[in-house]
Amino acid sequence: MALSPTRPGDPIPATGARISFTSLVELHGQDLYRFAWSLTRSPHDADDVYQETLLKAFRAWSKLPPDANHRAWLFRIASNTWISDRRKMGRVHQFGMDQPDMPSGETDTATQVVASETLEHVTVAIEALPPKQRTALVLRKYHDMSYEEIGEVLDSTPEAARANVYAALQKLRSQFATALVN
């Protein structure tokens, strides 16, 4: 027997009201896992980020102001968890401009670049993006977030969020350009 969505308890608002953690997870759990996967691109690491995020969120849930953006709050915990985990694992050298594994225009054998290699380069390039840029790009591209919401995740202004996305695109562009020129 199905009850209409206007029954008591429905609809569950995304913001502006105190909801249970159960409903928070029901609303955003899958999206959160997809975000963890997009960031890490590794099932094992995605599970770790997802579980750690849920644990931190569960502990802090009662202290969150009811009018907070629940999804942005969850994603911010996930993003910070991912960055922190990477640092702990000693991958910090991959952040920033120092990208030793990146192919460059000078060293590529121009005529040998093929489409699959291009994609591989792009994947490497995405993984080598500074964490805020990568997070911003993932949120914009895969989660269709507005720059306002990305700013909430990154704890920055919408303008800074947009700048992060475009800085990421600028870095990726050099990879595409290298391949396409060839």
Residues that bind another protein (CB under 8 A): 1, 3, 7-10, 12, 18-23, 25-26, 29, 33-34, 37-38, 41, 43, 46-47, 50-51, 54-55, 58, 115, 118-119, 122-123, 126, 137, 140-142, 144, 147, 159, 162-163, 165-166, 169-170, 172-173, 175-176, 179-180
Tell the smallest beta-carbon distance from residue 95 to another protein (Å). Answer: 19
**Measured from the CB of residue 156, what is the shortest distance to another protein in angstroms?**
15
Q: Provide the residue count of the chain.
A: 182
State in angstroms the smallest separation of the CB of 99 from another protein.
16
Q: Is the peptide bond before 100 cis (omega within 30 degrees of 0)?
A: no
Cis peptide leading into 43, omega within 30 of 0?
Answer: no
The torsion angles phi and psi of 170, rounded to 5 degrees, stand at: -60, -40
7 versus 63: smaller Cβ distance to another protein: 7
Phi/psi at 134 (5° precision): -65, -45
Pull the structure tokens for residue 44: 């094992």
